[in-house]
Structure 1
């Protein structure tokens, strides 16, 4: 009986050409990280051995005086010398940090890479009402920033072991919550300068959670809105405000007739709106669009003179009223001129 032998020379080449799987690539990266860590540890050990050799060389140096030799060769044991361990050098600490960083911890939260992730899932707005307690989901290795409508006077955190509250410099209506443990909860009470109390239930998660943490929390107060509507000046004034910063503007004093001139390459610096009352001139700029706050100058005798300004929200406010202004950022500038009011208008 004849045997039929079939050969497939191309199968071997195709099999060899197969690409490694994702799991194999991940394992390869982990092995590379472990090799780097071992290399770092070896370097640290070499540094320690070198330091011990240097100490031994100094100890046996002929430059030591007889008193030192007597003490060093004494039969009385000096336990302090044998037990004392010198702290690691800066180079050793740096190498240890690099060894830790080279490890792949595989601790990235998958929710941030979901196909339907839009970027707004980690920001919430709370319309606060009396007698309500609101939940805030935090995550280890991240902070949750809370912005209140008024200046914070005080706060009470139920658990200082599992959480910490950080005060934000130059922002008196903002705090940040940082969890220190996973799977714990506590309460947070915030008191603002206008005498109001806000109550929250805080709990912590980790990267395994399938829900997004609350990284930015805007707290709005319906009570404040209602009180504003009852303000006796509500019909006569309006407010330019941001947080605790507020400037009241009398509606009857508002003047909006201003000419804005700029070269073609500087039109991006033109303000969205210009108006004034009897004390201030307001220039509106969207803070998210500009790299820095524009500088405002008053034109006196065809010369730019610096003027005091303040920033509230999207408004740069000059603390004066004038016929001509120049606004600058770097080499770019814009000229603004107040039109004369026509008679009967």
Structure 2
């Protein structure tokens, strides 16, 4: 075999061994090992951030609070990944610089994300939008291993629970209004309505054409909701069964909401319906500690 034909192979092999050896132990300076009779010196990469020598064990954990008027500032570092944990699901986000930064879900979770900076000296912004509609704004920058500033490893992003709940309720109410508006132009088939709620067998004296079915739960325990809610302009009907409810051991108590307060109303049972002898735009259904808020949309 011609020696000229094998020389490139030997050179490549030695370079490959050298590259592998350099990743084996970067902490011990001038350490010598032997690989197939070739002495290779392991050199220190000098890529350790000295700021960690005296840092606190809590210095790399941060809590960011959602705010309409402030942003959260985050320091990243090259070759270090940062985990962001949101209290709610994130439906979308905007990353200002996708060349020097990456932001991606972890295990397809919409609560947990990996944020990483690639090249030091870059900065940008990140804006995340939660399912509630709340907006989370961040300023992010990348430091080098020479930086005196520490990066964050874990960032928990929290929202005020009451604000988060209110935002979700407002979003749900808007969805309900949009659906009602979308369906309001559809012609109601009265025969189908009567059949679906077993109306004629329980309250034949009221004209089906006068019924209003635009009731939706806004928040609370959906288990308290009846099969159907409607009013006829005088009374409100809550269908909790197909047979006589007098045999039901426990029914919820229904209150009309007046000026923000729950007011008791007269009610009676007819067939599978609990009938409240009034109408209202807002109702509260209660059973023990559980409750549900119901609104009527005109």
Normalising by structure 1, report the TM-score: 0.39
Structure with greater proportional helix content: 1
Structure with greater proportional strand content: 2
